[in-house]
Structure 1
Amino acid sequence: MKTFLTAVLICLAMPVFAQEATTASGGTLRVLDKITGRTHDLEFGNGQTQTVGLLAITMTECRYPSGNQSGDAYTLLTIVYNNAADPVFRGWMIASAPALNALDHPRYDVWTLRCSSE
């Protein structure tokens, strides 16, 4: 019975999460250096890598809800610290909920602002 109720709840919730997304040509991220207090807004194209301080940030893709370009941005990022072999972050960041899947780093904060229209 418990499994059945879980399945029903998942099926009811699907339309909420099944929103179509449009891929943009790039996006904007903000980087905060917690030691210096400086922020940097970076414009990316999809697949582009940029460095800020000791971070190398690659934006693989930026998406937004179809029909609502000013809506929520979702970016697929890979962040490497100090040329390490393994990234300190790899995954999707969501503009409206930056703490949902955040970079956990003692010096830097990174969050998604928006997708580009060009």
Structure 2
Amino acid sequence: MRRALVALVLASLPAAAVLAPIPAAAQDWVPMRAARLQALDKVTARITILEARVNESATFGTLSIALRSCNGRGPDDVPDAAAWMEITDSRAAPGSPPAFRGWMFANAPGVSMLEHPVYDIRVLECR
């Protein structure tokens, strides 16, 4: 049964997708020095574009955004960005965990996102 399912899935893919592996260079991320972030205040619908440098913090409302890493794709690849951030809220109880800690991806914002009742942060690009 399992082999039949795998065979059915492989048969539905184009031959190029099955036979041609993605070149290693196309899978590489390039470290960058800064990120452009889009910040949304859900109460006022105010959108702000923030510039954050690696190992520095940016603020938006009650949030403090510490950018630890920002990686982009090479010039010959499909544009994308991935940023490792730690976001804390000054209104959170003392000793509480950060509002967000992890990677955010420009091309897949729903994969890993800030869950906050007032603010939303999204990665636009790495520079």
Structure 2 length as normaliser, TM-score? Answer: 0.73
Q: Structure 1 50/69 Cα, relative in aligned 2: closer, same or farther at 3 Å? A: farther
Structure 2: runs of 5+ lacking an equivalent = 3-17
For 1:20-59, what per-residue CA distance to the aligned partner results, in whole angstroms no more than 9, with x for missing partners?
A: 1110111100110000110111011111101111100111
Report the identity percentage: 35
Unaligned runs of 5+ in 1: 3-11
- When Rg is computed on C-alpha atoms for both structures, the one with the higher figure is 2
Pairwise CA RMSD of aligned residues? 2.6
**2:51–2:58 CA contact under 8 A, matched in 1:** no
Choose from 105, 112, 118 the match for 2:123.
112
Equivalent residue number for residue 7 of structure 2? none
Per the alignment, residue 32 of structure 2 pairs with 24
User: Per the alignment, in what secondary structure is the counterpart of residue 45 of structure 2?
Assistant: coil
* Count of residues in Structure 1 that have an aligned counterpart in Structure 2: 108
CA deviation string 1:70-109 (max 9, x = no partner): 7101000100012643201000000011111011111111
Aligned to 1:73: 81
Give every structure 1 segment of 4 or more consecutive aligned residues whose post-TM-superposition deviation is greater than 2 Å: 66-70
